[in-house]
Structure 1
Amino acid sequence: MRDTKIVATLGPASSDEQTLREMIRAGVNVVRINFSHGAAQDHIDRVNLVRRIAEEEGVYVGVLADLQGPKIRIAMFEEKSVVLSNGAEFVFDTDSATPGNVQRVGLDYPELIKDVTGGDILLLDDGKIRMKVLSKNESSLRCVVEQGGVLSNRKGINKLGGGLSAAALTSKDMTDILTAAAFEADFLAVSFPKNAADMYMARELMRNAGGTNALMIAKIERAEAIPNLEEILEASDGIMVARGDLAVEVGDAKVPALQKKMIRMAREKNKLSITATQMMESMITSHVPTRAEVSDVANAVLDGTDAVMLSAETASGAFPIETVRVMAQVCVEAASFTPINLDQEMVNRTFGRIDQSVAMAAMFTAYHFNANAILCMTESGSTALWMSRFNSGVPILCMSRNIHTLRRLSLYRTVSVVPMPTEDMTREHAMATAEALLMKRGLLKLGDLVVTTSGSTMGKIGGSDTMLVRRIGS
C-alpha cells in the first residue's frame, strides 16, 4: 500500500483501453481531465472508459476535472513563429486578426494593456522569453526583448509579480463545469483563483449544475493568491501547488519554499494537497527520469503532499505506463524515510466534534499500540480525512457503501479504500463483514491488531462515535 497518491493526466498517449488499464495497474489513483484540450464528448468517453476499467480491476479511481481558466495568450504569426533577438523592440497590440511578424503580434487578451505599465516585465512561453515594457497607448505595448528566442503561435504571457485582472472563471469554464457535472467529477480544479470568492463561485456553479459530490481544488498559480492562501484554503477542499505558472509570476527560486508552506498549511487545516508540474518531465521522451526529478518527487512525499501529478508525461509522452510505475516506486521509497512525530503533531491541537475526536483517538491508539491497521468505517469520508492529515505509520483501511466517497478517498494520503456491502446491517455485523472482506483481500490476517472507528447508526453522516481495539480472530 502506497501512502502518496498519483494523479495522471489523460490525453492522446493514454486514451486507449490497454494503456489506461496498465496505468491503473501501475498505480494511478486519480485521472485528470484537462479542459484546456479536447471536446466535451471526448472527456465524457474517457471518464466512462476509466470507470469501466476500474470496476473490472476492482479499484476506485477518482476523476479530477481541471478547468482551463483565463489563458492570456498572444495571437498568430504569419510564419507560425519568429526569432526574437536580445535588445530588439517588439509590440503587442489589440489587432489579433492580423498575423504577427518579428516586429509585432496581436493579443487574445487586450485587457493586458490596461494591467501593465512602463518598467513591467512580461514573460512568455513559461518564462523562456522575457520583455520589458517601455511605453503603451490605448491599443499597444512597446517592449524591448531582454531574453530572446523562438516565439510561436498562441504562447502564454504573464506579468512578473502578478497583477492581471482576468477573472478566474471564464465563459468556457462555466460550460465545462456542466460537462464535469455530467460525468460526475470527483474533484473540480479551479485555475488562477485570486481569493476565496473565486472558489465560492466555482462551488456554487458546480452545485447548480448537479455536481454536489465534487471536492473543490484551488490551483495556486497567481502571485495574488499567496497572501490570500488561508482564505482560499477555507473556501476549498484542497489545493494544487501548480508550480509552472506560479514560478513564472513569483520567480523559480521562491517556489520550493512556497510548496512546503502550502502543503503544511493544507494539512494543518484538514485540506488536501496535490503537487504538480514537471515532476518527471524528461520521461516525456525518455524511459528513465533524471535524478533531480526523482529527488523532486521524493521531496514532495516528504513534505506530506497527498498526491503527485503527471501532466504531459502521461497525456502525450512516449512512456506513460513506465512513468507511473517509476513514480510509484519513488513514492514508496520516500515514504519509508518519512519521520513519524505523531505526539508532537498533536500538541496544541483541539477537536470540536465527537467524530473528529474519535478519529484522533484512533490514530493515537494505533500508533502507541503498534497496530497493524486502522479500520475506518465511514459514510462521508471525513473521519478518514482527519486521520490522513497525520502520519502514524499505520495503514488506514477505509470502508464505505457510498461510491462517491470511495472515489474521493482515492486522493487521500495513507488511505486505502474497500467497498462495503450495500445491504442494511447492524454495526456488529458490518464490522465482522468488513474484517472478513479485508482478510479475503489479504489486507488483514488472523492475529492482527486493528483499531476500528464506526458509528452507532450505520449510514449516518458525521456519526462516528466509537473506537474499538481488538485482535482479528480473538
Structure 2
Amino acid sequence: MPNQKRTKIVATLGPATSKRETLKQMILEGVDVFRVNFSHANYETVKENIATIRELGKETGITTAILADLQGPKLRVGVMKEEVVVEPGDIISFCTGKEFEGTAEKVYMNYDSFPKDVKKGENILLDDGKLMFRVLETNGKDTVKAEVIQGGPLRSKKGVNLPNTNISLPALTQKDKEDAIFAISLEVDWIALSFVRHAEDLQELRKVIEANCKYKIPIIAKIEKPEAVANIEKIVAYCDGLMVARGDLGVEVPAEEVPLIQKELVRTAKRARIPVIIATQMMETMISSLTPTRAEVNDVANSVMDGADAVMLSGETSVGKYPVQVIQKMSKILRNVENSPLIRVPQEPPHIRTNRYITKSICYHAAIMANEIEAKAICTLTNSGYTAFQISAWRPAAHILVFTSNYRILSRLNLLWGVTAFFYDKYVSTDETVEDVNRIAYDRGFVTKEDYLINLAAMPIVDKGMVNTLRVSQVK
C-alpha cells in the first residue's frame, strides 16, 4: 500500500471502458477518479457504469470518485451530408434555425444567437482549431458568411470556438441543468462546469445543486476561456477545484501561451488550497499506440512538477485501444517524479483570519512539522474533509491518512494529492481514538516501529467540531 502514487489519475469513461473487467483492472492499476463526460453521455449507460464502479469498490476495497463533467455552452456544427473538404479561399455559410445536413456551401450551427454575436473580421475555429474561417458578413438573424483561411476535412458535430467573440450564451445551459440533476441523483462526488467565464456561472450551478441535494457537492471550474484566466481570483473563491482544460484553452488563446497559463493556474489553486487537474492530450498517442511519446511522458511529469493534484485522460481511456496500459504507464511516470526535491509549491502560512484560521494554521504547522521531524504519516479525523484539503495543499512528505465516519466524502477525497481515506466511526476518547488510527496506519504498512506520526483532532472528539489539536506520537 505505501508504495502508492500521490498524484491522482482521472480517467474518462466511454466505449473502451464498457467491460467490468476493464474497469476493475484500471482501478487496480491506479485510477482514482472516473469522469463522466456529459457531452457524449447516455443516461442508462452512465447509471450502469457508476453502479459497476461502486460494486468494484466493495470488491477491491478501493473507493473511486465519480466526476460529472457538464458540457457547458459547447458550440457545434451539425451533421454533414457527405465528406466535405474545404480549401483556403472557399466561401461557406453557417446557418442557425432548423437543423439540416451540411454541404460544402452551408453548414448548420447549433447556436441561435451566433449571427447576432459575431462580427465581420472575427475568426471561427473548428475541430480544435484545425480549420479556420474569417467572418465576411452576418445578417444578424440566421446566416453568417465566412471565408476559409485554413482548410481541411469538415466533419459532423465538430466543436466550434470563437476566440474573438463575446458570446451571450449562459455558462449553464438547459442541458447542463438536466445533466446536473441526473448526476446529483446518482450521488456523484464532484461536478465540473465547462467554459466558466465568471464567478456567477459557478453560483448558478451551486443553486441547482442546493435545490436538488441535501448535501454539498464540490464544484470544479474548467478553465478554457480567456475571460476565465482574467477572472481567476474571483473564480477560485466560488469553486472547490480547478481543471486546466488545455484543449479548448489552446484554441481560445494562442497555443504558445498555454504552458505559462497552466503554471499560473496551478499556483493560484495551491494558494487557494483547492485541487487542480491538468487535462487534455496528456498521453494522446496511446489512443492507438502502446507507447507514449517522450514529449507526452515529459508533459505528465512536468504537470506533477508544477504541483498538480491530478492528471486526466480523455480519449486515451474513453475510446482508446489500451485503457488499462495507459493507466499503468501514467502511474509509473507519477511514482517516478512526484517525490523529487525539484518540486516547489507555495509554502506561505495562512494569514487571512477567517473563522477557520485555527484549523488552517494547525494543518499548515502539521505539514511543516512532519517534514522537520520526518514523521511518516499525518492522521486526521474529519467530518467535512476540510483538513484533508488543507494538509494536501502543503505537500508534506508524510502520508496523509484521513479518517471519517462520513461515507459521502470518502471517495470525494480521492482527488486530493497524497490523501488516503478510511471509513472510521469509533469515537470514544481522544487517547483511544489516536491509538486506534495509529494502529490502522501501522497495520496498513504506512508506518513501522519507532516512526513518528502527527495526529490532528477536534477535542472533545465526540463533538466532531473543527480541528483544534495537534499531537505527535511514536509507534511503539
Partner of 2:364: 360
Q: 2:70 and 2:343 mapped to 1: Cα distance? A: 36
Task: Determine helix, strand or coil for the equivalent of 2:75.
Answer: coil
Partner of 2:29: 26
Partner of 1:448: 451
Q: Is the 8 A contact 1:376 1:452 kept in 2?
A: yes
For residue 160 of structure 1, report the CA deviation from its aligned partner. 2.1
Larger mean CA deviation between 351-360 and 439-448 belongs to 351-360
Q: Which runs of 5 or more residues in structure 2 are unaligned? A: none
For residue 165 of structure 1, report the CA deviation from its aligned partner. 1.6
- 1:380 equivalenced with 2:384 (yes/no): yes
TM-score by length of structure 2 reads 0.95
Pairs within 5 Å for 1:64-79 = 64-79=67-82
Q: 1:123 and 1:341 mapped to 2: Cα distance? A: 37
Task: Determine helix, strand or coil for the equivalent of 1:345.
Answer: coil
Q: 2:387 and 2:119 mapped to 1: Cα distance? A: 50
Q: Which runs of 5 or more residues in structure 1 are unaligned? A: none
Larger mean CA deviation between 241-250 and 391-400 belongs to 391-400
Q: 1:434 and 1:413 mapped to 2: Cα distance? A: 20
Q: 1:96 and 1:83 mapped to 2: Cα distance? A: 24
- 1:89 equivalenced with 2:78 (yes/no): no
Render the CA deviation track for 1:193-213: whole Å, top value 9, x for unaligned: 111111011011012111623
Distance 1:269 1:46, change over 3 A: same
For residue 41 of structure 1, report the CA deviation from its aligned partner. 2.3
For residue 46 of structure 1, report the CA deviation from its aligned partner. 1.0
Q: Is the 8 A contact 1:302 1:338 kept in 2?
A: no
Q: Is the 8 A contact 1:355 1:462 kept in 2?
A: no
Partner of 1:112: 114
Partner of 1:256: 259
For residue 38 of structure 1, report the CA deviation from its aligned partner. 2.6
Q: Is the 8 A contact 2:125 2:161 kept in 1?
A: yes
Q: Is the 8 A contact 2:273 2:389 kept in 1?
A: yes
Q: 2:350 and 2:307 mapped to 1: Cα distance? A: 20
Q: Is the 8 A contact 1:239 1:266 kept in 2?
A: yes
- 1:395 equivalenced with 2:408 (yes/no): no
Render the CA deviation track for 1:300-334: whole Å, top value 9, x for unaligned: 10111110001111111100000011111111112
Q: 1:201 and 1:349 mapped to 2: Cα distance? A: 30
For residue 462 of structure 1, report the CA deviation from its aligned partner. 4.4
Task: Determine helix, strand or coil for the equivalent of 1:333.
Answer: helix
Task: Determine helix, strand or coil for the equivalent of 1:226.
Answer: helix
Q: 1:162 and 1:330 mapped to 2: Cα distance? A: 39
Q: Identity rate of aligned residues, in percent? A: 36
For residue 131 of structure 1, report the CA deviation from its aligned partner. 0.6
Q: 1:109 and 1:163 mapped to 2: Cα distance? A: 13
Larger mean CA deviation between 428-437 and 315-324 belongs to 428-437
Partner of 2:409: 405
- 1:179 equivalenced with 2:219 (yes/no): no
Task: Determine helix, strand or coil for the equivalent of 1:144.
Answer: strand
For residue 401 of structure 1, report the CA deviation from its aligned partner. 1.7
Q: 2:389 and 2:234 mapped to 1: Cα distance? A: 20
Partner of 2:244: 241
Partner of 1:48: 51
Pairs within 5 Å for 1:308-327 = 308-327=311-330
Q: Is the 8 A contact 1:216 1:237 kept in 2?
A: yes
Task: Determine helix, strand or coil for the equivalent of 1:264.
Answer: helix
Partner of 1:136: 138
For residue 76 of structure 1, report the CA deviation from its aligned partner. 2.3
Q: 2:132 and 2:238 mapped to 1: Cα distance? A: 34
- 1:297 equivalenced with 2:300 (yes/no): yes
Render the CA deviation track for 1:370-406: whole Å, top value 9, x for unaligned: 1112112222111121111112322212221211222
Larger mean CA deviation between 453-462 and 137-146 belongs to 453-462
For residue 106 of structure 1, report the CA deviation from its aligned partner. 1.9
Given candidates 422, 441, 456, the residue that maps to 1:438 is: 441
Partner of 2:102: 100
Task: Determine helix, strand or coil for the equivalent of 1:100.
Answer: coil
Q: Is the 8 A contact 2:16 2:320 kept in 1?
A: yes
Q: 1:238 and 1:275 mapped to 2: Cα distance? A: 11
TM-score by length of structure 1 reads 0.95
- 1:371 equivalenced with 2:372 (yes/no): no
Q: 1:462 and 1:260 mapped to 2: Cα distance? A: 36
Q: Is the 8 A contact 1:33 1:43 kept in 2?
A: yes
Corresponding residue pairs, total:
470
Q: 1:96 and 1:317 mapped to 2: Cα distance? A: 34
Q: 1:177 and 1:346 mapped to 2: Cα distance? A: 36
Given candidates 271, 279, 297, the residue that maps to 2:274 is: 271
Task: Determine helix, strand or coil for the equivalent of 1:464.
Answer: coil
Q: 2:101 and 2:319 mapped to 1: Cα distance? A: 28
Q: 1:340 and 1:143 mapped to 2: Cα distance? A: 47
Q: Is the 8 A contact 2:306 2:344 kept in 1?
A: no
Larger mean CA deviation between 207-216 and 124-133 belongs to 207-216
Q: Is the 8 A contact 1:75 1:96 kept in 2?
A: no
For residue 349 of structure 1, report the CA deviation from its aligned partner. 4.4
Q: 2:382 and 2:218 mapped to 1: Cα distance? A: 17
Render the CA deviation track for 1:160-180: whole Å, top value 9, x for unaligned: 235222111111111111111
Task: Determine helix, strand or coil for the equivalent of 1:396.
Answer: strand
For residue 95 of structure 1, report the CA deviation from its aligned partner. 5.0
For residue 53 of structure 1, report the CA deviation from its aligned partner. 0.5
Q: Is the 8 A contact 2:78 2:156 kept in 1?
A: yes
Pairs within 5 Å for 1:326-365 = 326-339=329-342, 345-346=347-348, 349=351, 352=354, 353-365=357-369
State the one-letter code of the partner of 2:112: P
RMSD after superposition? 1.7
For residue 111 of structure 1, report the CA deviation from its aligned partner. 1.1
